[in-house]
């Protein structure tokens, strides 16, 4: 083999080794680029996912805040409306109870309810019944006889100018206040019941 042939063979061998090294470097560079791209995509997806979660949380918080504001406004409006209703209803309730006491049948039921409650809660000793003026004597006598039979002792009945309607029963230091003032004493409870009744009537 001549010198030229050996030189050409060496040049070809070097070229082949060079080409193989270049292909290997290019392949490694491409794989590194793909790996870097995958890693970048993962990071971007994770970042985007965090942003989406943050945005969803922000939107939920805003919706909750708006809903809370709406509920607060409705409650304030309802409270104002309820206060206005109660302001009108309270004197009407007083008038209604006074009219009930003035009506014979309403008064009979009123007294009967007070007597039943007293028999179930007051000591059985002598009772004193203070009542509003104008209670007919015939009705007083009927109650006196009923209680005398139930208690074994005649109760004392007397008119009390302080009582506008109803009666107050005293026995052994205990008292059952069935007067107008006594019935209206727990205003908060009565107003709550009035609102509940009105709410029930407003439902279809």
CA atoms within 13 A on the CB side of 11: 6
DSSP label at residue 122: S
What's the whole-model pTM score? 0.55
Q: How far apart are CA 75 and CA 133, in angstroms?
A: 44
Q: How far apart are CA 74 and CA 68, in angstroms?
A: 10
| pLDDT single digits (tens) 141-168 | 999 999 999 888 899 999 999 999 999 9
Average pLDDT, the chain: 82
Helix 137-151 and helix 104-121, axial crossing angle in degrees, nearest 10: 20
Q: How far apart are CA 183 and CA 202, in angstroms?
A: 26
Which portions of the chain are predicted below pLDDT 70? Answer: 1, 3-4, 6-11, 14, 79-83, 86, 198-204
């Amino acid at each position: 083999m001549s010198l030229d042939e050996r030189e050409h063979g060496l040049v070809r061998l070097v070229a082949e080794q060079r080409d193989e090294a270049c292909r290997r470097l290019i392949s490694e560079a491409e794989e590194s680029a793909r790996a870097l791209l995958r890693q970048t995509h993962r990071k971007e997806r994770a970042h985007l996912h965090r942003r989406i979660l943050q945005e969803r949380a922000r939107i939920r918080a805003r919706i909750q805040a708006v809903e809370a504001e709406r509920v607060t406004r409705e409650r304030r409006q309802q409270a104002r409306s309820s206060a206005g209703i109660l302001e009108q209803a309270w004197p009407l309730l007083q008038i209604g109870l006074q009219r009930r006491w003035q009506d014979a049948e309403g008064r009979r039921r009123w007294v009967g309810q007070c007597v039943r409650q007293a028999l179930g809660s007051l000591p059985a000793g002598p009772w004193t019944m203070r009542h509003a003026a104008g209670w007919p004597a015939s009705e007083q006598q009927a109650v006196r006889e009923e209680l005398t039979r139930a208690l074994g002792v005649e109760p004392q009945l007397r008119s009390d100018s302080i009582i506008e309607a109803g009666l107050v029963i005293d026995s052994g230091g205990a008292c059952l206040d069935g007067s107008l003032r006594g019935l209206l004493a727990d205003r908060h409870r009565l107003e709550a019941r009035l609102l509940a009744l009105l709410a029930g009537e407003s439902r279809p």
